[in-house]
Amino acid sequence: MSLFKNLFGKSQPPEQELGRNEKCWCGSDKKYKHCHFEKDQKRLAAIRASQCTSRG
């Protein structure tokens, strides 16, 4: 991986959902399920929970 990509690569998940077996959005060349999948799922669950409580 190039230095430029390390410094200026993607820093946040894409808006669309990735398949578990696709390459991770971070550029690590790992499958998404072995890299950021769990972290992204926890982040999305927290966002959804906060949206539900703010509507109440």
Model confidence at 1: pLDDT above 50: no
- What residue type is assigned to position 17 of the chain? E
Q: Indicate the domain borders of the chain.
A: 20-56
Give me the pLDDT at residue 54, please.
73
pLDDT tens by residue, 8-52 = 655 666 677 889 999 999 999 999 999 999 999 999 899 889 888
Contact 22, 34 (CB under 8 A): no
Give me the pLDDT at residue 17, please.
81
pTM: 0.63
Contact 36, 43 (CB under 8 A): no
Number of neighbouring beta carbons within 10 Å of residue 36: 17
* DSSP line for 18-38: PPTTSBPTTSSSSBGGGTTHH
